[in-house]
């Protein structure tokens, strides 16, 4: 860095938090942070220096070929393939590290799982930047792998069993993204079973052995029943679970062995040798046995996350790290004093870095929709214990402090605020926000606990264990409450709802009839008719997206099983059923509603300018939209400027927003998951507003094809919230955050100058009190000045470490596309009163 002469204080006064962090962190953390290879794509491509790892696909393919003639049931073959990868993949230990484990063979490699979908495999073939050298030679390897898995991958196997019409529409990419696969999405975890320190892999293996023996004995008693028939499948499933757990233990011990080899043969530094032996001891202990120390606990957690990604492609990282690691922190730092706060901070910071490095090759929609990051690692902090008491602990503070030191964009935190949170913790949160991390986002715990009980019927003790399953959605971490896989294709590009009202459901971008064939828009003679068509399109789109997920959940146990995830889930260990089996899940589904607010603003514009004021006819408007407003600029500006916009405490448009939400909420209770539970909507966006910019046509809010969509959730359109932050909060507070949907994202930009000093804290705290009093469930802040962001656009090399809040996640500003950068700058900076 070119600022060595400046002190930390001077740098902080200049709000150059990233340089201050560099000076404040330990040498170890500084090395590890700079050693990290960021994995997020920029726009649709991976940045220079990252390559697709071919080791894993080759290992998987060779094992699959070897097992072709094996008499094993599929689930056991699959478990053996996972074990083969863990037993044979290249492992490494980075200098100065204390935690180990990575999916790929080298730190700059992105792992590719060819067993998921031929569509994904062909993206690899077509990738213009990430095929490793020598390209020609590696293309042949890729081709062999792709050729083998064609027709055998999960999606290839599942699709013929799905509604083919729905599948075509989903895979067009117009109305949603993701795939209906149990091995592709966001895996929830039964942390109450596997992370409480009560048991670890060896304990589960003992339990599995007992259940297999009992079942085997039962199966050979005199008699023949359906129950006995079912036992054969269960024994296979238990056996597969056991294979994955044993492989996990062996894999950890490979790290232990490597650490000892380095310590005994290569390392000359005495201190490092001790650290390496500590790594060895840790990896010999976990995940086989329960952790005893903070290092073991973090390492155990990391292994679980990596093994889960060995089994599935994961777009999220549901976690509650302060809750589950907190007891170890408390014991070592505050009671036994075997670990200093600084040592704990080093471990915590490294844990964040290890998570930030994780990477899997993902399709284009994911790379564009989650620009700058690998997935939404939104870790949940704070909240309450099962008895309702404050759950914050020393680890909560350590994580918040470590985040400011290592400044990774992913994971980010979401904080479960409740009235009992201490001021000391609030100040730590505020420091993260003031220092521009964009996180933690703030979640209203009492509201969201009530919401979980309302929508999914989770009992209060279970609802209180919730963690974010992806960016925003709460899911309990309990036996029946957790959702094993949130399939991402229940993600609706909701701007298409209003677009399809004008095209009778035909999509002009992908040239396909996708929506309902509602009457021609120019024929509508009343707003009510128009709104009815909107409701029909909403129901049609949501149904197209939800049906494949429901179907895939039902097919998953037999066709795309998850033996490892099942092995760390009490309900599967107990029942012998795959974790995705709907019969053992309460259900916690939701539809992510991207690009939602465009609907309210568009409906309001049509109501006012067409039906109330009769300034234009529906034919005028339909024609203007079909022409992408070309030749109609005056009319377009009328729709932008003279129609009310959401976020200004204007009942005209706010009541329309409520109408839309109420219709969606009503339909959410008609849509049912295979467990019989509801499908509430959850408005938020990630960077889908940019990804979809060229996929959504012109809209009545004045938007043209290609313009960025709003930044999401219930956030007003950038620059359209003209009446200040309180008006935004008031508009948002008209929504019932318990019963109108599962959660509602709100982005706010604040001025870093205004947040300076104690006064800044008090202003923010006062804002948060209003937010809580009004009953909103979420808010997150960008707190980086326009000046800094524009400087970063001009001179990205100097601003590599500036972080911004994109939507449900943060990213380094230089790692997102120019259009996304501009969209963030355009957001209104709210002055706090």
Query: Looking at beta carbons only, is 655 or 694 nearer to another protein?
Result: 694
Does 174 contact another protein by CB under 8 A? yes
Query: Looking at beta carbons only, is 508 or 770 nearer to another protein?
Result: 508
Does 44 contact another protein by CB under 8 A? yes
Site map (CB under 8 A) of another protein, residues 685-724, x = contact: -----xx-xxx----------x------------------
Query: Looking at beta carbons only, is 90 or 385 nearer to another protein?
Result: 90
Does 793 contact another protein by CB under 8 A? no
Query: Looking at beta carbons only, is 407 or 586 nearer to another protein?
Result: 407
* C-alpha 610: how far from chain center: 40
Q: To the nearest whole angstrom, how small is the minimum distance from the Cβ of residue 113 to another protein?
A: 15
Q: To the nearest whole angstrom, how small is the minimum distance from the Cβ of residue 482 to another protein?
A: 28
Q: Give the containing element (helix H, strand E) for 557.
A: helix 527-559
Q: Which of 58, 219, 228, 261 binds another protein (CB under 8 A)?
A: 261
Q: To the nearest whole angstrom, how small is the minimum distance from the Cβ of residue 273 to another protein?
A: 13
User: How far is Cα 495 from Cα 710, in angstroms, rounded to an integer?
Assistant: 10
User: How far is Cα 818 from Cα 618, in angstroms, rounded to an integer?
Assistant: 36
User: How far is Cα 389 from Cα 499, in angstroms, rounded to an integer?
Assistant: 47
Q: How many residues bind another protein (CB under 8 A)?
A: 85
Which residues 6+ apart lie within 8 Å of 183 measured at CB?
Answer: 115, 116, 154, 311, 312, 313, 485, 560, 562
Q: Are 116 and 109 a contacting pair, CB within 8 Å?
A: no
Does 346 contact another protein by CB under 8 A? no
Does 818 contact another protein by CB under 8 A? yes
Residue with tokens 């030191």: 405
Binding to another protein in span 396-435, by CB under 8 A: none
Q: To the nearest whole angstrom, how small is the minimum distance from the Cβ of residue 768 to another protein?
A: 33
Query: Looking at beta carbons only, is 400 or 545 nearer to another protein?
Result: 545
C-alpha distances (whole Å) from 450 to each of 231, 386, 411, 447, 476 are 39, 14, 26, 5, 12
Binding to another protein in span 494-513, by CB under 8 A: 506, 509-513
C-alpha distances (whole Å) from 267 to each of 102, 105, 106, 107, 404 are 22, 22, 20, 21, 31
Binding to another protein in span 178-207, by CB under 8 A: none
Does 210 contact another protein by CB under 8 A? no
Q: Which of 50, 204, 245, 258 binds another protein (CB under 8 A)?
A: 258
Does 53 contact another protein by CB under 8 A? no
Query: Looking at beta carbons only, is 237 or 792 nearer to another protein?
Result: 792
Q: Which of 122, 641, 790, 798 binds another protein (CB under 8 A)?
A: 122
Q: To the nearest whole angstrom, how small is the minimum distance from the Cβ of residue 87 to another protein?
A: 7
Query: Looking at beta carbons only, is 170 or 286 nearer to another protein?
Result: 170
Does 234 contact another protein by CB under 8 A? no
Q: Single out the segment in contact with another protein by CB under 8 A; choices: 417-425, 562-570, 789-797, 814-822.
A: 814-822
Binding to another protein in span 86-105, by CB under 8 A: 87-88, 90-95, 105
One DSSP character per residue, 670-719 reads: HSB-TTS-B--EEE--TTHHHHGGGTS---TTSPPTTSPPP-STTPPPTT
Query: Looking at beta carbons only, is 224 or 266 nearer to another protein?
Result: 266
Query: Looking at beta carbons only, is 51 or 764 nearer to another protein?
Result: 51
Does 123 contact another protein by CB under 8 A? yes
Query: Looking at beta carbons only, is 261 or 554 nearer to another protein?
Result: 261
Query: Looking at beta carbons only, is 663 or 822 nearer to another protein?
Result: 822
Does 49 contact another protein by CB under 8 A? yes
Binding to another protein in span 583-612, by CB under 8 A: none
User: How far is Cα 700 from Cα 527, in angstroms, rounded to an integer?
Assistant: 14
Q: Are strands 412-417 and 378-382 parallel, antiparallel or unpaired?
A: parallel
Site map (CB under 8 A) of another protein, residues 528-547, x = contact: --------------------
* C-alpha 171: how far from chain center: 20
Residue 286 φ/ψ, nearest 5 degrees:
-110, 145
Query: Looking at beta carbons only, is 577 or 709 nearer to another protein?
Result: 709
Nearest CA-CA partner of 788 in 817, 811, 821, 818: 821
Nearest CA-CA partner of 114 in 156, 155, 145: 145
User: How far is Cα 445 from Cα 772, in angstroms, rounded to an integer?
Assistant: 10
Q: To the nearest whole angstrom, how small is the minimum distance from the Cβ of residue 368 to another protein?
A: 5
Q: Which of 12, 16, 113, 127 binds another protein (CB under 8 A)?
A: 127
Does 617 contact another protein by CB under 8 A? no
**Token code pair at residue 96:** 């100065």
C-alpha distances (whole Å) from 639 to each of 83, 604, 629 are 59, 10, 11
Q: To the nearest whole angstrom, how small is the minimum distance from the Cβ of residue 212 to another protein?
A: 26
Q: Which of 26, 72, 108, 788 binds another protein (CB under 8 A)?
A: 108
Residue 810 bridge partners (DSSP): 805
Query: Looking at beta carbons only, is 122 or 666 nearer to another protein?
Result: 122
Binding to another protein in span 130-169, by CB under 8 A: 131, 139-140, 143, 146-147, 150-151, 153, 155-160, 164-165, 167-168
User: How far is Cα 552 from Cα 62, in angstroms, rounded to an integer?
Assistant: 27
Cβ-based burial of 128 (10 A; exposed 0-12, middle 13-18, buried ≥19): exposed
Question: According to DSSP H, which parts of 358-441 are helical?
Answer: 364-369, 394-406, 423-434
Q: Single out the segment in contact with another protein by CB under 8 A; choices: 395-403, 451-459, 661-669, 815-823.
A: 815-823
Q: To the nearest whole angstrom, how small is the minimum distance from the Cβ of residue 626 to another protein?
A: 14
Query: Looking at beta carbons only, is 140 or 722 nearer to another protein?
Result: 140
Signed CA dihedral, 11, 13, 16, 18: sign only: positive
Site map (CB under 8 A) of another protein, residues 59-88, x = contact: ----------------------------xx
- How many other CB atoms are found less than 10 A from the CB of residue 513? 14
Q: To the nearest whole angstrom, how small is the minimum distance from the Cβ of residue 718 to another protein?
A: 17
Does 262 contact another protein by CB under 8 A? yes
Nearest CA-CA partner of 461 in 486, 485, 481: 481
Q: Are 155 and 116 a contacting pair, CB within 8 Å?
A: yes
* Long-range residue pairs from 164-167, CB within 8 A, at least 24 positions apart, any chain: 166/544, 166/547, 166/548, 167/548
Does 265 contact another protein by CB under 8 A? yes
Does 120 contact another protein by CB under 8 A? yes
Nearest CA-CA partner of 351 in 85, 660, 32, 134: 32
- How many other CB atoms are found less than 10 A from the CB of residue 598? 25
Q: Which of 2, 4, 5, 34 binds another protein (CB under 8 A)?
A: 34
Q: Which of 819, 825, 828, 832 binds another protein (CB under 8 A)?
A: 819
Binding to another protein in span 353-372, by CB under 8 A: 363-365, 368, 371
Does 800 contact another protein by CB under 8 A? no
Query: Looking at beta carbons only, is 313 or 395 nearer to another protein?
Result: 313
Query: Looking at beta carbons only, is 150 or 631 nearer to another protein?
Result: 150
- How many other CB atoms are found less than 10 A from the CB of residue 743? 29
Nearest CA-CA partner of 311 in 460, 189, 193, 399: 189
Q: To the nearest whole angstrom, how small is the minimum distance from the Cβ of residue 43 to another protein?
A: 4
Q: Are strands 474-475 and 467-468 parallel, antiparallel or unpaired?
A: antiparallel
């Amino acid at each position: 860095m070119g600022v060595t002469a400046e002190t930390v204080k001077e740098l902080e006064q200049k709000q150059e938090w990233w340089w201050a962090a560099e000076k404040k962190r330990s040498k170890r953390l500084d090395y590890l942070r700079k050693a990290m290879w960021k994995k997020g794509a920029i726009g649709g491509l991976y940045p220079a220096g990252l390559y697709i790892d071919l080791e894993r696909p080759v290992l998987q393919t060779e094992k699959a070929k070897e097992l072709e003639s094996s008499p094993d049931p599929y689930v056991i073959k699959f478990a053996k393939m996972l074990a083969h990868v863990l037993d044979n993949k290249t492992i490494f230990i980075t200098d100065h590290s204390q935690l180990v484990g990575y999916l790929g063979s080298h730190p700059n490699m992105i792992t590719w799982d060819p067993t998921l979908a031929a569509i994904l495999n062909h993206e690899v073939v077509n990738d213009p930047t990430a095929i490793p050298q020598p390209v020609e030679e590696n293309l042949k390897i890729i081709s062999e792998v792709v050729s083998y898995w064609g027709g055998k991958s999960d999606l290839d196997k599942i699709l013929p069993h799905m509604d083919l019409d729905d599948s075509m529409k989903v895979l067009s990419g117009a109305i949603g993204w993701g795939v209906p696969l149990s091995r592709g999405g966001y895996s929830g975890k039964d942390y109450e079973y596997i992370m409480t320190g009560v048991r670890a892999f060896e304990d589960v293996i003992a339990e599995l052995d007992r259940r297999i023996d009992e079942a085997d004995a039962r199966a050979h008693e005199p008699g023949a029943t359906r129950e006995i028939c079912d036992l054969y499948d269960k024994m296979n499933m238990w056996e597969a679970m056991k294979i994955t757990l044993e492989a996990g233990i062996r894999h950890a011990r490979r790290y232990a062995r490597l650490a000892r080899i380095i310590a005994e043969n290569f390392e000359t530094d005495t201190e490092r040798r001790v650290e390496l032996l500590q790594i060895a001891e840790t990896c010999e202990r976990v995940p086989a046995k329960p952790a005893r120390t903070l290092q073991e606990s973090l390492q155990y957690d990391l292994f679980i996350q990596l093994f889960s990604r060995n089994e599935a492609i994961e777009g999220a990282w549901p976690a509650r790290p302060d809750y589950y690691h907190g007891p170890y922190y408390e014991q070592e730092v505050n009671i036994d004093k075997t670990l200093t706060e600084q040592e704990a901070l080093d471990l915590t910071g490294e844990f964040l870095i290890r998570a930030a490095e994780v990477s899997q090759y993902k399709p284009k929609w994911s790379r564009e929709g989650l620009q700058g990051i690998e997935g939404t690692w939104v870790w949940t902090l704070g909240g309450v214990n099962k008895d309702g008491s404050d759950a914050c602990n020393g680890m909560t503070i350590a994580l918040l402090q470590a985040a400011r030191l290592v400044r990774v964009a992913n994971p980010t935190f979401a904080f479960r605020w409740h009235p009992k949170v201490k001021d000391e913790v609030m100040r730590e949160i505020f420091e993260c926000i003031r220092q521009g991390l964009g996180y933690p986002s703030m979640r209203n715990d009492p509201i969201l606990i009530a919401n979980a009980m309302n929508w999914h019927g989770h009992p209060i003790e279970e609802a209180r264990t919730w963690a974010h399953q992806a960016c925003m959605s709460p899911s309990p971490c309990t036996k029946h409450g957790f959702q094993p896989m949130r399939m991402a294709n229940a993600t609706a590009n909701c701007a298409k709802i209003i677009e399809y009202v004008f095209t009778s459901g035909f999509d002009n971008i992908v040239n396909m009839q996708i929506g309902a064939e509602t009457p021609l828009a120019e024929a509508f003679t009343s707003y009510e008719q128009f709104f009815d068509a909107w409701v029909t399109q909403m129901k049609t789109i949501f149904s197209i997206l939800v049906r494949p997920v429901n179907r895939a959940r039902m097919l998953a146990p037999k066709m795309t099983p998850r033996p490892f995830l099942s092995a760390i889930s009490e309900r599967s260990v107990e029942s012998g059923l795959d974790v995705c089996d709907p019969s053992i899940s309460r259900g916690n589904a939701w539809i992510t509603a991207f690009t939602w607010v465009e609907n309210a603003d568009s409906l309001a514009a049509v109501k006012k300018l067409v039906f109330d004021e009769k300034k234009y006819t529906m034919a005028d408007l339909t024609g203007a939209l079909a022409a992408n407003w070309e030749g109609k600029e005056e009319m377009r500006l009328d729709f932008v400027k003279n129609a009310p916009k959401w976020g200004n405490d204007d009942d005209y448009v706010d009541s329309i927003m409520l109408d839309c939400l109420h219709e969606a909420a009503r339909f959410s209770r008609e849509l049912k998951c295979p467990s019989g539970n509801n499908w509430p909507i959850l408005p938020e966006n990630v960077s889908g507003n940019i990804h979809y910019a060229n996929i959504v046509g012109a809209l009545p809010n004045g938007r043209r094809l290609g313009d960025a969509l709003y930044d999401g959730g219930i956030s007003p359109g950038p620059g359209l919230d003209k009446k200040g932050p309180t008006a935004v909060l008031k508009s948002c507070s008209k929504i019932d955050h318990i019963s109108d949907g599962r959660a509602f994202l709100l982005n706010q930009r604040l001025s870093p100058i205004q947040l300076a000093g104690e006064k800044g804290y008090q202003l923010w705290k006062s804002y948060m009190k209003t937010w809580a009093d009004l009953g909103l469930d979420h808010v997150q802040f960008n707190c980086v000045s326009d000046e800094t962001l524009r400087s970063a656009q001009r001179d990205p090399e100097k601003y590599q470490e500036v972080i911004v809040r994109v939507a449900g996640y943060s990213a380094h500003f230089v790692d997102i596309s120019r259009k996304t950068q501009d969209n963030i700058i355009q957001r209104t900076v709210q002055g706090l009163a």
